[in-house]
Amino acid sequence: MEAARKLSDDVWIVAPDGKRTAAGPSLTIARPLTMRRLGEQRFSCSGTPADCIVTAMAWLFADGRKPDLVVGGINDGRNVGEDLAYSGTLGVAREATFWGVPAIGFSRVKEAEVQVGDADWLARLIERLWQSRGDWAIEGHWLSINLPTRLPAPLAQPRIGRDKIARKTEVVKDDGDVVELIVPRGRAHARSDGDENSMIADGFATLNRLNWFGETKLAPAFMEGLRAAAR
C-alpha cells in the first residue's frame, strides 16, 4: 500500500478480513459476502482473495470504471512452484485478468529484513512495470514477483521449480470410521539450479509471467489416431 500511494493518490484497497492461505482462485458463489468499510476507499471482504476482485469490479466499479492496475500482496511468504496454482495472492492477479485489468502478485520471504527505503524501491519497480506493460500485460497474463530477504535486489526470471506445500497430514482424532486430520503449514524449501528458491536464496527478486489459458496442443499424430478410433 505504501508503495502504491507513492505512485497515485487514487488507491483502492479491498482485502480479505483474515488469512486465506492456499485459497487460490476460488470464488464464493450464491452465499453472502460481507464488505466492511474501513476508511476512504478501504474495504475488507469476508470471502477469498479472488472474491476481493469480484466485489471490487462488480460492486465498487459497477459503473464500468476499471482500475489501471491491480497489485496483490505483499504476501507474507514466498509463492513458488506449485504455489502458482494454490496462492490466494496470485489468485487476485489471475482474477483481475478475467476483467481485463493488468495485474501483479507480490510475495516476500518470511522474516524479511524490512528497511526504510523498501517502499521507494518497490514504487520504482511498479512504475517501471507499468510503463512497460505493453511487453507483459497481454490478455490473460499476469506477473508473479518474489522478493528476497533484503531490498534493493537484482531481478531475475527463474525456472519454475517444485516445492509443494501440503505434503503430509497429521491425525488429530481417530474414532474408527471418522478420522480428523490436519495439514500442517510449511514446505521443504527444495531447490535446484535456476529455480525460484535458488535465486531467492542468492538475493534475487524473481519475476515470472504467468497465464490462465493452460493450453498445450497435442501432437498431430496423436490427434489423428484419436480421430481414426472415433470413426
pLDDT at 163: 92
Residue 54 lies inside a defined structural domain of this protein: yes
pLDDT at 215: 74
**Is residue 9 within 8 Å of 131, Cβ to Cβ?**
no
Residue 83 lies inside a defined structural domain of this protein: yes
Residue 109 lies inside a defined structural domain of this protein: yes
Q: Which of 79, 48, 94 is nearest to 196 (CA)?
A: 79
pLDDT at 111: 95
CATH of the domain at 21: 3.40.1210.10
Task: Tell me how far CA of residue 219 lies from CA of 126, 223, 230, in angstroms.
Answer: 39, 6, 17
Mode of pairing for the β-strands spanning 141-147 and 205-211: antiparallel
> What range does the domain containing 30 cover?
2-163+191-230
* Distance separating alpha carbons of residues 107 and 59, to the nearest angstrom: 27
Residue 103 lies inside a defined structural domain of this protein: yes
Residue 179 lies inside a defined structural domain of this protein: no
Residue 98 lies inside a defined structural domain of this protein: yes
Residue 36 lies inside a defined structural domain of this protein: yes
Residue 185 lies inside a defined structural domain of this protein: no
Number of domains the chain is built from: 1
pLDDT at 21: 87
Could you give the 3-state DSSP secondary structure of residue 220? Answer: helix
**Tens of pLDDT along the chain (231 residues)?**
789 999 999 999 999 998 888 888 899 999 999 999 999 999 999 999 999 999 999 999 999 999 999 999 999 999 999 999 999 999 999 999 999 999 999 999 999 999 999 999 999 999 999 999 999 999 999 999 999 999 999 999 999 999 998 989 999 999 999 999 999 988 888 999 999 999 999 999 999 999 988 777 889 998 899 889 987
